[in-house]
Structure 1
Amino acid sequence: MLRLILVRHAKSAWDDPGLSDFDRPLALRGIAAAAWIGTTLTNHGWLPDRIVCSTARRTRETLELAMARLPSNGPRPDVVWSDAVYDRRDHDYLGLIAEQGSGAQVLMLVGHNSATEQTALALSAGSHQAMVNFPTGGIAVIDCEISNWLELVPRCGRLSHFLRPPRS
């Protein structure tokens, strides 16, 4: 069994209309949520072997703040920065997960909506209304009944946890 942790980037700032979508930073609420993500991963023992993260500024900032809250005495995950996570944000991440997951028992992807939500819903057997409108800073943990990420197909997983960051 393999575990996938899907994280949508934390809340981004919209106060500079001159910035491109790719270059938007985290808002203050997003900074707090990113720290919450790292604390939540640590407290639940959801420590990834590999992390695939979008290269957009808000996802990089989310991951950097979350990783600062991971245990410092354990192995550090392999981090893959991927333009494809941003480029595929309007589709799903199934192919990207299959491509990037090799060798990881626990894979985390830090991405964007609507792809994060579509991926979580596609993989999870059954209907999960909680994941509709996947929130910024949200975490979905999906256990997949496969032995290799190349075997990833829709409905091969079971949603074990879905968490929303606290409102600050």
Structure 2
Amino acid sequence: MKTLTLLRHAKSGWDDPVARDFDRPLNPRGRRAAATMGRHLRALDMAFDRVIASPAVRVQETLDDVGQGFGRMAPEWDRRLYLASAASLLDVIRECPADIGSLLLVGHNPGLEDLVLMLVPDERGGLRDSVEEKYPTATLAQMTFAVDDWAAVAPGGATLTHFIRPRDVDPELGPEA
């Protein structure tokens, strides 16, 4: 059994005058959402054998803030995760050694959302419907696979066990009116 968790970076600051998208930082709301999600992950007693993350500034800051509530993580920064497609993310997953039981990927949309939709069978009425509706910033999706090796992860082979948005943890982090 393998467990894959996907975390989208928290809300970034579009008002910040940065030259490159890669350098865009989080805004104050995003920082609060990331810290809230970190505390919630700790309350759920989640654990990760390996963390692979996009090196974009907003992802680095998300992990810093998640770490305040969850505990420090030591991510492997992988440039391939920056704005990666679902297919590219799947390649990274399949490269993981078989002895890794629980993997956390931290990155960007639309790749993360597309990956969940690729891996989880389309059965109406479940958590997948919420993913299809919207995968907001600082949201976490967790899936399990009945496989012994990450190389065997295949489309339609996942069970979506968690889809947690910041607003599910703290209603004040819901969409702005």
Taking structure 2 as the reference length, what is the TM-score of the superposition?
Answer: 0.85
Map of 1:135 onto structure 2:
136
Residue 114 (structure 2) aligned to one of 113, 118, 130 = 118
Amino acid at match of 2:60: R
Equivalent-residue separation in structure 2 for 1:114 and 1:29 (angstroms): 21
Q: Structure 2 matches for 1:1-168, cutoff 5 A? A: 1-71=1-71, 78-89=74-85, 92-100=88-96, 102-127=98-123, 128-132=128-132, 133-166=134-167, 167-168=172-173
Q: After the TM superposition, list the runs of 4 or more consecutive aligned residues in structure 1 that deviate by more than 4 angstroms.
A: 89-92
Q: Kindly indicate whether the alpha-carbon contact (under 8 Å) linking 1:50 and 1:77 is maintained by their aligned counterparts in 2.
A: no
- 1:125 is displaced (CA, Å) by 1.9
The runs of 5 or more residues in structure 1 that have no matched partner are none
125-134 or 150-159: bigger deviation:
125-134
- 1:79 is displaced (CA, Å) by 2.0
- 1:152 is displaced (CA, Å) by 1.0
Greater helix content: 2
The runs of 5 or more residues in structure 2 that have no matched partner are none
Equivalent pairs, count: 164
Q: 1:90 to 1:16 in 2, by over 3 A?
A: farther
SS of 2:151's equivalent?
helix
Percent same amino acid at aligned positions? 35
